[in-house]
Structure 1
Amino acid sequence: MPGFTTQRRLAASELNIGESRVWINPDPELAGALGDAITREDIRSQISDGNIKAKPKKGNSRGRIRAKNAKRAYGHCKGPGHRRGAKGARSPRKELWMTKIRALRKRLRELRDTGQIDRHAYRLLYRKSKGGEYRSTAHMNSFIKAKGLARGE
């Protein structure tokens, strides 16, 4: 059976695929007709007859990745041996700061709008928050309680 090098090259060009994905019918009875197909028109007619086809594209299975991501969702496979990058690269300091300051400012607005703190206390606490004095909303709440800044108490 001939190698069909020219036919494979032309078919790949016509089908807009790589040569490795060209399927040529292995039937020995068609070998003569396929061997004679040396023009692009001949190749197109062979493609329409179904003697030359494009093999399906191969992909990479994501099954293993999905399984690993499912485990990681509940904390497995995240130990020190699996970590690449510094602590600040995995959770940037700026993002941690943004999360914290937004929570603090939201809590301050709630306290001011409900009347639990006056606007002077609000400004004081806002400035202290901006300066990074509080670790969390709980820390700020304990400061408010300790200093007696809340009106309701």
Structure 2
Amino acid sequence: MVVNLKAKKRLVSRVVGVGLARIKFDPESSDDIADAITRDNIRSLISAGAITIKPAGGTSRGRSKFKKMQKRKRGTTTGSKKGRKGARVGKKQVYVKKVRALRYRLKVAKDRKEITNPEFWNLYRKVGGNTVRNIAHLRTLIDEVKAHRKS
């Protein structure tokens, strides 16, 4: 005799706290499951193994990882790039990266006592004002400040 166990499945889902799709009934013990009417009965059937809970299935990331890897590989050579340099990396990001690197170098120079505090702030303002082109340029400016101090 086929027994409709839909209501029992709903009860199990409320007791265990999982979705209906994860609940599996053992076909041999369908009579016992049909007789179970309390939450306690359901719990005892779960411990007995008549009712099993399937493990939670996740969304597979395999295809998306593969697509991401392909995208990363594609279009990196000079002939494949479209748009100007600023289209790939914005002006602001370039500026921020440069300024942070220069300010770090300035801090190192001050910690090593290569430059004094007023000299540091003078160069710091130049860095912020985009007067300093790169680290090599900063190095020459520090050397000039040192030379000026000695004379």
* 1:6/1:38 contact within 8 Å kept: no
Matched, 1:23 2:20: no
What is the CA–CA distance in structure 1 between the aligned matches of 2:36 and 2:50, rounded to whole Å?
11
User: Mapping of 1:1-153 within 5 angstroms?
Assistant: 1-27=2-28, 30-66=29-65, 76-77=73-74, 93=92, 96-111=94-109, 122-141=120-139, 148-151=144-147
Find the aligned partners of 1:119 and 1:42 in 2 and give their Cα distance. Answer: 79
Deviation of 1:106 (Å): 3.0
Alignment partners' CA distance in 2, 1:144 and 1:124: 11
Provide the rounded CA distance (Å) in 1 between the counterparts of 2:98 and 2:120. 17
Q: How big is each residue's C-alpha offset from its partner over 1:36-63, in whole Å with a ceiling of 9 and x where there is no partner? A: 2233232222212110111110012334
TM-aligned CA distance change 1:92 to 1:36, over 3 Å: farther
Counterpart amino acid of residue 9 in structure 2: R
Mapped to 1, the partners of 2:47 and 2:116 lie a distance apart of 82
Q: CA deviation at 1:3?
A: 2.8
Q: 1:113 & 1:53 partners in 2: Cα distance?
A: 66
Residues 120, 13 of structure 1: alpha-carbon distance in 2 compared, 3 angstrom cutoff: closer
Q: Which runs of 5+ in 2 are unaligned?
A: none
Relative to the length of structure 2, the TM-score reads: 0.65
Measure the CA separation in 2 of the matches of 1:114 and 1:133: 23
More displaced stretch, 129-138 vs 58-67: 58-67
- Percent of aligned pairs with the same residue? 31
For residues 1-22 of structure 1, what are the alpha-carbon distances to aligned partners after superposition, in whole Å with 9 as ceiling and x for unaligned?
Answer: 2230111011111111111111
Per-residue displacement from partner, 1:19-38 (whole Å, max 9, x unpaired)? 111110122xx232222223
Inter-partner Cα distance in structure 1 for 2:55 and 2:99: 52
What SS class does the counterpart of residue 4 from structure 2 fall into? Answer: coil
**CA offset at residue 107 of structure 1?**
2.6
SS at match of 2:52: strand
CA distance in 2, matches of 1:42, 1:59: 30
> In proportion to residue count, which structure has more helix?
2
